[in-house]
Amino acid sequence: MRIFLISIILSSIFLQSDSQEVDLHDDFLENFQGRKSEFFHYGSTGKKVGWKWNSGKTSSETADSKVLSFKIHPKEEAGAGKGPEIISRKFTHFGSYSARLKVPDPREIQPNVGAVVGYFTYHMDKEKGLSEIDFEWLLADPEVVYMGTWTGESGKLKRVGRTINLAKGIIYATEYREDHTKTREKLTGSSQNFPELIEAIEGFDASAQFHTYGFDWQPDRIRWWMLHPTTADTVVLWDYKGERGIPQHPSKYRMNFWHTNNWSVETNSKSLEKPKERFELEVDWLGYRAF
C-alpha cells in the first residue's frame, strides 16, 4: 500500500511539472466550419499550393455539413509531413481523443497507391524523446487499420503496435519492436494483447463512409476504439496496459495525409506507387477532452 501511495504522489508531481513546462489545450471540439481554426494550424513541409487543404469545405456526405479537406499532391515527395497536415496550436496530454473522418478510395484508379492517412499525437523532446500515439490507414486497403505508439530517442525508437482487418475480423499482429536492433516481439497476456480476438464488422471500409475513431491516453493505459457503424456501440480495438511504450510527456495533436514509397499495406506488397490523382481525405471533426 505504501509503495502504491508513493507511486501516486510521484506521478502527481511529474504531471504538475510537465504541465508547467508547456501550454496545454483545454477541452475542445473542432468541426471545421470556417477557413481558420482556433485549435490547429497548417504545418505541411511539402509543396506550397493552396488546394492541398481547405477548412470549411462542403461535405460529400451532406450539403449542410462542413469538413476539413486534404488533397495529396501527385508530384509530392515521399515522407510524413510532406503532404497536408494540421498541428494543434498548444500541447495536449492525457485525455480522450476522437475524430470522424472518411479516407479516400483510390482502388479503381490506382490499386497500388502508396499513401497514408495519419490521425495521431506527435512531439519529439530533446531530453524525453518521442511521444506519439497513432491511428493510420493505408489507402490501398481501407479494411485495414494500424494503431500504436512510438517512444524513445531519435535513432533508437521503440514501437508497440497492432494491425487489424476490421472487415474480416483478423488481427495480423500485436507486437513490440525496435527497428535499430531488429527486435520484433509478439505481445501476449491480458495487459498487452486485449482483446485477443476481434469480431468482424460486416462491410467495413474506411473509405465508404465517415467513421468515428478515438483513443484514451492515460499514464498506464491506452485504449484505441471506434463506434460501430450500425449500432454506434463502442468497439474496443486494443486496450494496452503494458510496461513499455506508453508516452508520458505532452504532445501535439495532428492529422496528415502523405505518400509512402517504403511501407505497403499488409494485404498488398505492391502498394508503394506515387499517387496519380489528387485523392481527397475528409475530416468532419476532431475532439479532445483532457483527463
95-124: per-residue pLDDT in tens?
Answer: 999 999 999 999 999 999 999 999 999 999
Extract the C-alpha cell encoding 276. Answer: 496519380
The confidence score (pLDDT) of residue 21 equals 76
**Single-letter residue type at 62:** T
User: pLDDT at position 6, please?
Assistant: 37
- 61 pLDDT higher than 90: yes
Question: Which of 243, 125, 226 has the alpha carbon at shortest distance from 176?
Answer: 243
Residue in 93, 92, 50 with CA at minimum distance from that of residue 73? 50
Residue 16, pLDDT > 90, answer no
Helix, strand, coil percent content, the chain, rounded in steps of 5: 10, 45, 50
18 pLDDT above the threshold of 80: no
Quote the pTM value.
Answer: 0.92
Averaged over 142-155, what is the pLDDT?
A: 97
Q: What average pLDDT score do residues 35-46 get? A: 96
User: pLDDT digit string (tens) for 69-87?
Assistant: 999 999 999 999 999 999 9
Number of other residues whose CB lies within 10 A of the CB of residue 14: 13
- The mean per-residue pLDDT over the stretch 41-49 comes to 96
Sketch out the chain's domains with CATH numbers: 25-290 (2.60.120.200)
In this structure, are residues 236 and 195 in contact, taking their beta carbons and an 8 Å threshold? Answer: yes
- The owner of cell 508516452 is 247
Calculate the dihedral angle through the C-alpha atoms of 263, 265, 269, 272, rounding to the nearest 10 degrees: -50
Cis ω on the peptide bond leading into residue 74 (within 30° of 0)? no
